[in-house]
Amino acid sequence: MRGANRQRTRGIALLVVLWACTLLAILLGGFAALARTESIQTRYLSSRVQLRYLAEAGAMRALAECVSRSGGRWVGDGRRYRLRLDEHDIDVRIQDELGKIDINAADPRLLQRLFVAAGTDDAAAAQLAANIQETRDTGAKLFREEGNKRYAQAGLAAGPRYREFDMPEQLQTVLGMTPALYRKLAPAITVWSRRAEPMPALAPPLALASLPEMDLAKAERYAAQRELSSTLTPPPVLPSGQAAGAWRGGLVRTIVASASDGQGTTASVIVTFRLTALKGGLGYSVLRWQEDGAG
C-alpha cells in the first residue's frame, strides 16, 4: 500500500514538473516574441526618423535652388528630381502655386470641371462648386441660419464659413466634400495664387484637366511631355494649340520631398513657402509644414 502511494505521489510530482516546464516554455516563448516585436518596432521607428531627416534634407536642397541668385536649375512644374544620400533615394518635387487652382478665386465652372476630372459625377460636382461659392461669399452670411441648418442635417458640426479659405485643408469643411475626394484634390488646389485659372506651364495634371478642351488623359500626356522638355526653351504648347506660359513661377511654392529605404518604408515632408526679397538675394518664410501629408 505504501509503495502504491509512493508511486502515486511520484506520478503527481512528475506531472507538476511537466506542467511547470510547459508553463516556463510558454512564458519564455512569449518573452522572446515580445522582445522580437519590440526590436522590429525599434528598428522601424529608427528607420522612420532617419528617413524623415533625409526627406527634410531633400526639401532644404530644393529651397537652396529656389533662393539661388541665378534662379536655380529646378523648376516648379512638379517634375521629379532624384538625390542619393547616405545610401537612400530621395525624390523631390517643386510645385509652384500659380499652377494650382485657387479655391478662393476660381470660377465655379472651373471648380466643377476640377471635381469631374477627379472622378465626381456632373450633378455632385456642380453642387459642390456651388457650396464652395456659398462658403467663401461674405455676402451670403445673410442666409447663415439656412446654411447652418443644411449642414446640421448632413451631420456637420459647423455651417458655412462665409469668408475666404485661409488654408487648402479648410476645403474639407464644405458640405459634399469627402476625405477620398480631398486626397485627390490636395496636390492641385491652393489659396495663394490669387488667379482665376492655373498657369498651364506649371500646373499638375489634375489642374490641367480642369481647363477647357482638356481631360485627365490629355493632361497626363502633356505633363509627361513637359517633364522631358528643357527649361532653356519655352514650355510645349497645350493640345489646343494655346501657349502654356513661362517656366518662371511666382513667390509661393510647395516642395514635396520623400525618402525611401528600398524596403517599403518611406517618409515625406511637404513645405509651402513664400520667397521674400533680402538685401543681396532671396529668403523665404514657411507658410505650411506637413509630415507624411497629402501634397
- H or E, element range at 190: strand 189-190
Phi, psi of 293 (to 5 degrees): -100, -175
pLDDT, the chain, mean: 88
Q: What is the CA radius of gyration of the chain?
A: 29
80 to 3, 71, 77: CA distances (angstroms): 86, 18, 9
Is a pLDDT exceeding 60 seen at residue 44? no
Q: Where are the alpha helices (DSSP H) in the chain?
A: 2-66, 108-117, 122-136, 144-153, 179-185, 205-209, 216-227
Angle, vertex CA 290, rays to CA 287 and CA 295, nearest 5: 95
102: left (phi over 0), alpha (psi -120 to 50) or beta: beta
Kindly state the DSSP code that residue 223 receives in the 8-state scheme: H
| pLDDT attached to residue 123 | 96
pLDDT band, very low/low/confident/very high, at 135 (cuts 50, 70, 90) = very high
212: Cβ contacts below 8 Å, ≥ 6 apart: 113, 240
Angle, vertex CA 213, rays to CA 209 and CA 217, nearest 5: 45
96-110, pLDDT tens digit by residue? 999 999 999 999 999
Report the DSSP beta bridge partners of residue 82. Answer: 91
3-class secondary structure, 79: strand
- The arithmetic mean of pLDDT across residues 192-220, rounded, is 95
First to last CA, the chain: 84
CA-CA distance, 50 to 275, in Å (whole number)? Answer: 28
Domain boundaries, the chain: 108-177
55-79, pLDDT tens digit by residue? 999 999 999 999 987 667 899 999 9
CA-CA distance, 37 to 33, in Å (whole number)? Answer: 6
Which residue from 168, 204, 206, 197 is spatially nearest to 107, judged by alpha carbons? 197
Predicted TM-score of the model (pTM): 0.82
CA-CA distance, 27 to 23, in Å (whole number)? Answer: 6
| pLDDT attached to residue 218 | 95
170-200, pLDDT tens digit by residue? 999 999 999 999 999 999 999 999 999 999 9
